[in-house]
A and B are shown apart, each in its own frame.
Chain A
């Protein structure tokens, strides 16, 4: 509680007391929340401790970014989408259904903002040089380059899939989500998700085969 007494200069006997509750958290709050569960962090945010959201961002930013990247295939758009996803999440915390994991809910938001993005913009063709920060697996440079080129081809092929198939494949293959969780995110039935997954794989096979045939000509 912060309280303060104001005294008007010309009326020294006239005192007005103004008080407010100080809900701000100490600067060290994110550290204090670092061990808290996701739902506890959500509770803290809703209780006015908005700094707890920084822990949520730090905890889930990589996965959210990667989901977005899978849709747009470039770092700039992916980082913007990931940021947008977290801002939307923050604004919509009141609507978070605690029956699901926070990560699932964040995935859903990330998928939605990504689908909205690709619905109005053709995905950028990713250059081979997109791999600016190669991971260090100790492999030979030529092997790393070949792997990078194959990855670009796969991501380009995935970008050409219909949206639902693409979303299903991304969540299933790269985020190892069970079909029922994907169904919850995409608002589909489990059977539809499985069918979409199969069609996504079949189309991916066809697209990669076509690319391979073109390269051989």
Chain B
């Protein structure tokens, strides 16, 4: 029986059993199919891949890391941490986004006429604070609230330059940013988180 195709692979690998090799020695048909294969293999082995520049390898890992960062972070293992938020470009963009949102929120609330029917804001006591009407946040919620954690982390490096705000005709009292964010409704906080998330997902070079 002639050699099967898979047995020619064994011949190339030099592991063809002795009895099959005896057949090959007698069979001109099989010899014709096997002819030249070792030479082709030897020639193929010589065809190595051109070695890239050494600089390429230095940049390749950085390219991969960048591509991973720019890909969907929620589907990537290891993104439970917030290390990617520490990148300078991200911090800067998120700070700008937070400043914009806080500014708009503060201005919109400041320009609205007072509602006589609105309940008077109470100064919360430590116990009552988490149950203050309108704030709608309790300590447990804050602990578990990813959106709030995102806001807090993004605003960590925010630098509020009061002289610029005054020059623009704006003013902000200490704690205004904290208060404005805390006073957002649940829907507003979700929207804020979405805006921040969109901002953070943008490529760092953009």
Contacts and interface: CB of A to CB of B under 8 A. Distances in A.
A140 interface: no
Interface residues of B, number: 65
A87 B68 contact: yes
Contacts of A82: 60
B77 A45 contact: yes
B46 A147 contact: yes
Contact of B63 (A83, A152, A198): A83
Interface stretch (B90-98, B106-114, B141-149): B141-149
Interface string B44-76: 111111111100110011011101100110011
A131 interface: yes
Chain A interface mostly helix, strand, loop or mixed? helix
B64 A57 contact: yes
A216 interface: no
A171 interface: no
A137 B44 CA distance: 19
Contacts of A155: 47
B149 A90 contact: no
A133 B82 contact: no
Given A14-B126, A18-B152, A133-B52, A198 B12 contact: yes
Interface in B170-206: 173-176, 178-179, 182
Contacts of A132: 50, 53
Interface string A178-206: 01000000000011011101110110110
A135 interface: yes
Contacts of A94: 77
B5 interface: yes
Q: Which of A18, A61, A94, A131 has the most CB of B within 10 A?
A: A18
A147 B82 CA distance: 51
Nearest to A154: B47
B153 to A, nearest CB: 8
Given A9-B175, A58-B61, A205-B36, A66 B44 contact: no
B124 A14 contact: yes
A133 B50 contact: yes
Given A9-B173, A23-B80, A46-B77, A195 B6 contact: yes
Interface residues of A, number: 75
B30 to A, nearest CB: 12
Chain B interface mostly helix, strand, loop or mixed? helix
B77 A90 contact: yes
B40 A205 contact: yes
Contact of A61 (B44, B60, B126, B173): B60
A195 B5 contact: yes
Contacts of B48: 135, 151
Contact of B64 (A83, A135, A147, A197): A83
Interface of B: 4-10, 12, 33, 36-37, 40-41, 43-53, 56-57, 60-61, 63-65, 67-68, 71-72, 75-83, 86, 123-126, 129-130, 137, 139, 142-143, 148-149, 152, 173-176, 178-179, 182
Q: Ordered nearest first, which 8 A-B pairs have the shortest CB separation?
A: A9-B175, A50-B78, A194-B6, A194-B9, A154-B47, A23-B81, A24-B83, A195-B5
Interface of A: 4, 6, 8-11, 13-20, 22-25, 45-50, 53-54, 57-58, 61-62, 65-66, 69-70, 75, 79, 82-84, 86-87, 90-91, 93-94, 130-133, 135, 147, 150-155, 158, 169, 173-174, 179, 190-191, 193-195, 197-199, 201-202, 204-205, 208
26 contacts: A16-B137, A16-B142, A17-B139, A18-B148, A20-B149, A22-B82, A23-B83, A25-B83, A45-B78, A50-B76, A54-B65, A65-B49, A70-B49, A75-B50, A75-B52, A75-B56, A86-B64, A91-B72, A130-B50, A133-B52, A151-B46, A153-B47, A169-B44, A174-B45, A191-B6, A202-B8
